[in-house]
Amino acid sequence: MFILLWTIVKRIIKLGIRNILHPLKYYKSYTEQLNSVSVNELFKDPKYILSNVSNVDSSLIDKYPTCSEVEHQVGRYINMKTIAQEIESKGVPGDIVEFGVWQGLSLLLLSKTFQNQQPARKFIGIDSFKGLPETSTIWREGAFGDTSYESVQSFIDDNSHNRQSFHLISGWFDDPSVVTKLSSLTSDIALVHFDADLGSSTSSALRIVSQFLKNLSHPIYFLFDDWGCHPDEVPDAFHHWFKTVSDRYFLRAEKISTTRYTRYYRIEPSNLSRNRKSCN
């Protein structure tokens, strides 16, 4: 009889503890969600990102796995920094070019990863500053039009360590004047950041870059910011382009890093490596 009563008492106690802990667990989960939202909002602010991204590491991504902005901004900065260090260690010459500047954040992030390297490199940003030129899949014509040449130049002036190293080119990627202006600024490229969203715009940017691959004697790094947004846009544009130029210029492409939205490649002459690898 005593054993039966003690069993009942234990069950009552256990049930009571569960009922007490349940709201505590709910409260903890709720506060964690609120915290995640606030952190995610912080990493939507360009100035906050520029001030803080170099002080965090991948543990922040692990801590807030549902925060897409944290994963994107911190993740791509870590990968950019790793690639910049590889460029320095290999002694790769050339400037940094970005297609799709929008408001200037990613161009400044790239400059942060190279700021201690010598000799200094040019950071060249190319954009129409009018938003996307057409509607396609998930993208809509005019999206990302909340920018201008003047506002980006001002943002760079306010947040860069060496304003003279930045150069902006205004124009659609298929405008011949863009090629002329780019060629007047640089004859060698170390890294290209593609942030054009659309497959058509990415294809136009890749055609421009092709002229710098004819006599390539060192690796060149391709960073795609919108790779994971839609398979029929940036991935299709790159794979179609690479199939065309790889045999013509004897190139190989190796995937070196990725995040949910980005993918980064090392492009190099096939004779620089004994083991030829195909792009993935």
**Per-residue pLDDT tens digits for 109-147:** 999 999 888 888 999 999 999 999 999 999 999 999 999
Flag whether 132 is in a domain: yes
| 277 in any annotated domain | no
145 in a domain, yes or no? yes
Q: Which helix (H) or strand (E) holds 123?
A: strand 123-127
Residue 174, C-beta contacts closer than 8 angstroms, at least 6 positions apart = 204
Residue 203 has pLDDT above 70, yes or no: yes
Strand blocks (E) in 8-121: 95-99
Do the domain assignments include residue 135? yes
Q: What proportion of the chain, given as a percentage, has pLDDT over 90?
A: 76
Does the pLDDT of residue 36 top 70, yes or no?
no
pLDDT in tens, 182-195: 999 999 999 999 99
Domain for residue 29, yes or no? no
Is residue 30's pLDDT more than 50? Answer: no
**Identity (one letter) of the amino acid at 250?**
F
Task: Starting at the earlier edge strand, list the strands of the sheet with 251-258.
Answer: 166-170, 123-127, 95-99, 189-194, 220-224, 263-269, 251-258
In this predicted structure, what is the pLDDT of residue 117?
84
pLDDT of res. 118: 81
Place of tokens 């952190």: 39
Residue 130's φ and ψ, nearest 5 degrees, are -130, 5
DSSP-derived letter for residue 225 is: S
39 band by pLDDT with thresholds 50, 70 and 90 = confident
In a domain, 237, yes or no: yes
Kindly state whether residue 46 falls inside one of the protein's structural domains: no
Angle at 190 between CA 232 and CA 96, to 5 degrees: 80
pTM of the model: 0.85
Residue whose C-alpha is closest to residue 193's, from 206, 177, 174, 182: 206
The predicted model gives 191-219 an average pLDDT of 96
pLDDT at site 273: 54
Compute how many other C-beta atoms are within 10 angstroms of the C-beta atom of residue 28: 11
Is residue 246 a contact partner of residue 213, using CB atoms and an 8 Å limit?
A: no
Q: How far apart are CA 169 and CA 173, in angstroms?
A: 10
Give the domain range for residue 86: 71-272
* Cα torsion through 204, 272, 116, 107, rounded to 10: 10
Q: How many folded domains does the chain comprise? A: 1
Alpha-carbon span 109 to 115, nearest angstrom = 10
Tell whether 100 is covered by a domain.
Answer: yes
- Within 13 Å and on the Cβ side, how many CA atoms surround 211? 10
CATH number, domain containing residue 144 = 3.40.50.150
Res. 21 pLDDT band, cuts 50 70 90: very low
Which of 14, 15, 37, 18 shows the shortest CA–CA distance to 26?
A: 18
Q: What is the pLDDT of residue 24?
A: 44
